[in-house]
């Protein structure tokens, strides 16, 4: 079967990430989608980045119009941002019968109602997972995974730049301007960073989430917007002394009188999970009547995290193009016939770090015997703690944390340690994961 041809509008932070992820994971993506997916045409004001992104056999242009008018292109991926040219290009792509994937929250929040109506009339898809909370698949979760629920409220940290600034102010006492400049350098901030710190970017995203949660048209102009520009380092410190964190929060809540749709700085008790979402990370807490509270967490900005959502949307579109609609989403995610026989590792082959606890005679040379056994099996000790024997006891408790080691090696080491005369009873072992 012919590959599906993608036209990429924009080769900036997210466009670059999309090209990289599509190329790096091409094989697995084809197994999931049912067709090979290739970038056939890319547009950018400066196309010199293309070669560095591996787009060597790709047609290039400075004019986005070339792509939306090209009959060979099946899916237009709009990553130019803004709402004038982007709106025009998306509407033309729809008119030309092309599916559209976009990361453009401003476009969807302001013009989504019109765009969706046009797409429905033409029978094409508009996919916009990357528009909200970067790589977190929260739109899919709300539309599909939580579809049984009456959503009561949702609350989110949905602007990575603001969260990064507040976190750095709290943890390192850095100035607002200094941290904002770093967010811009790292590619988190919007082209106009007042959209981030003024709350507009978060309001775009909240408007989209609220519509999906409550089944209402997109109404950006009714969203209450307050940014973080008036938050001082003092506020952050006082809130902290009182046991709170200041977060820029988007809140959408169903009430008897109507829907609350607001973004503003908010004190949250520091024991709440969402209060501990720091740096550029995003999180969305959704309360459904059946499921209760659910929390979705991940990178809300950045090249590959956002590309993760863009590429997932491309795969979704390709599945609708190529697969029997009954099996649009394969049961095991990969297309039937594409499951592979990769072995499941026996536990002895798994590598983790370990916590070890043992009771040892408190006399010279015992520790040397234990560490020799570990060293002979290439097991490196990361931390060590010895608890003094209690009164009238001759045994000390030894705790060790190891670096990563193959479990088989650890089993041998533990058996050898337990055979030592100086070690009493069994060695307690607990596997450790840093989950970093």
Beta carbon nearer to ligand HSE, 55 or 166: 166
CA Rg, the chain, in Å? Answer: 27
The number of C-alpha atoms within 13 Å of 23 and in the hemisphere containing its C-beta is 17
- Pairwise CA distance, residues 6 & 155, whole Å: 34
Beta carbon nearer to ligand HSE, 37 or 133: 133
Least spacing, CB of residue 166 vs ligand HSE, in Å: 12
Beta carbon nearer to ligand HSE, 195 or 244: 195
User: Could you say which residues in the range 142-161 bind ligand HSE, by CB under 6 A?
Assistant: 159-161
Beta carbon nearer to ligand HSE, 7 or 250: 250
Answer for which of 81, 134, 288, 298 binds ligand HSE (CB under 6 A) is: 134
Q: Which stretch binds ligand HSE (CB under 6 A): 21-29, 43-51, 188-196, 351-359?
A: 188-196
Our finding on whether 78 is near ligand HSE (CB under 6 A) is no
Q: Which of 98, 105, 205, 287 is catalytic?
A: 205
Our finding on whether 304 is near ligand HSE (CB under 6 A) is no
Our finding on whether 197 is near ligand HSE (CB under 6 A) is no
User: Could you say which residues in the range 200-219 bind ligand HSE, by CB under 6 A?
Assistant: 201
H or E element in which residue 299 lies? strand 292-299
Residue 134 contacts residue 300 (beta carbons within 8 Å):
yes
Q: Which stretch binds ligand HSE (CB under 6 A): 144-152, 186-194, 260-268, 360-368?
A: 186-194
Is residue 105 part of the annotated active site? The answer reads no
Beta carbon nearer to ligand HSE, 174 or 403: 174
Tokens for 277, please give them: 């979402």
Buried b (16+ CB within 10 A) or exposed e, 340-352: eeeeeeeeeeeeb
Answer for which of 190, 304, 313, 407 binds ligand HSE (CB under 6 A) is: 190
Beta carbon nearer to ligand HSE, 15 or 288: 15
Task: Tell me the DSSP string of 305-354.
Answer: HHHHHHHHHHHHHHHHHHS-GGGSS-TTSSPTT----PPPPPGGG-EEEE
**Which CB contacts under 8 angstroms, 24+ apart, belong to 427-435?**
427/356, 427/357, 427/358, 428/355, 428/356, 428/357, 428/358, 429/354, 429/355, 429/356, 430/354, 430/355, 431/352, 431/353, 431/354, 431/355, 432/352, 432/353, 432/354, 432/355, 432/401, 433/352, 433/353, 434/353
Answer for which of 40, 196, 316, 407 binds ligand HSE (CB under 6 A) is: 196
Our finding on whether 301 is near ligand HSE (CB under 6 A) is yes
Answer for which of 106, 115, 151, 189 binds ligand HSE (CB under 6 A) is: 189
- Pairwise CA distance, residues 426 & 88, whole Å: 71
Least spacing, CB of residue 353 vs ligand HSE, in Å: 33
Which residues are near ligand HSE by CB under 6 A?
A: 134, 159-161, 188-190, 196, 201, 300-301
Residues taking part in catalysis: 205
């Amino acid at each position: 079967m012919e590959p599906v041809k993608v036209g990429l509008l924009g080769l900036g932070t997210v466009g670059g990430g999309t090209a990289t992820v599509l190329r790096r994971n091409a094989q697995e993506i084809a197994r999931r989608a049912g067709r090979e997916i290739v970038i056939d045409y890319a547009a950018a004001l400066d196309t010199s980045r293309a070669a560095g992104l591996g787009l060597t056999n790709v047609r290039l242009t400075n004019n986005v119009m070339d792509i939306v008018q090209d009959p060979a292109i099946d899916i237009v991926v709009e990553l130019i941002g803004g709402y004038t040219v982007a709106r025009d290009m998306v509407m033309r792509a729809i008119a030309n019968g092309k599916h559209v994937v976009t990361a453009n929250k401003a476009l969807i929040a302001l013009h989504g109602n019109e765009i969706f109506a046009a797409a429905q009339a033409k029978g094409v898809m508009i996919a916009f997972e990357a528009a909200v909370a970067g790589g977190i698949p929260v739109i899919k979760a709300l539309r599909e995974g939580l579809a049984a629920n009456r959503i009561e409220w949702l609350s989110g940290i949905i602007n990575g730049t603001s969260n990064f600034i507040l976190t750095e102010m709290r943890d390192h006492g850095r100035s607002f301007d200094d941290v904002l400049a770093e967010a811009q350098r790292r590619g988190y901030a919007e082209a106009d960073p007042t959209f981030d710190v003024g709350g507009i970017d978060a309001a775009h995203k909240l408007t989209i989430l609220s519509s999906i949660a409550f089944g209402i048209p997109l109404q950006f102009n009714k969203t209450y917007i307050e940014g973080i520009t008036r938050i001082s380092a003092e506020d952050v410190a006082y809130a902290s002394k009182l046991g709170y964190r200041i977060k820029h929060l988007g809140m959408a809540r169903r009430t008897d009188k109507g829907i609350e749709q607001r973004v503003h700085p908010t004190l949250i008790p520091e024991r709440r999970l969402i209060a501990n979402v720091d740096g550029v990370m995003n999180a969305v807490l959704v309360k459904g009547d059946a499921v209760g509270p659910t929390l979705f967490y991940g990178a809300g900005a950045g090249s590959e995290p956002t590309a993760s959502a863009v590429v997932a949307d491309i795969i979704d579109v390709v599945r609708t193009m190529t697969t029997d609609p009954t099996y649009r989403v394969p049961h095991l995610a990969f297309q039937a016939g594409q499951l592979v026989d990769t072995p499941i590792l026996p536990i002895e082959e798994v590598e983790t770090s370990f916590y070890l606890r043992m009771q040892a005679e408190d006399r010279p040379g015992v520790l040397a015997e234990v560490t020799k056994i570990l060293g002979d099996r290439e097991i490196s000790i990361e931390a060590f703690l010895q608890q003094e024997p209690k009164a009238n006891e001759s045994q000390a408790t030894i705790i060790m944390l190891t670096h990563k080691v193959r479990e088989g090696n650890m089993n041998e080491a533990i058996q050898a340690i337990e055979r030592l005369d100086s070690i009493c009873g069994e060695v307690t072992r607990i596997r450790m994961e840093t989950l970093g």
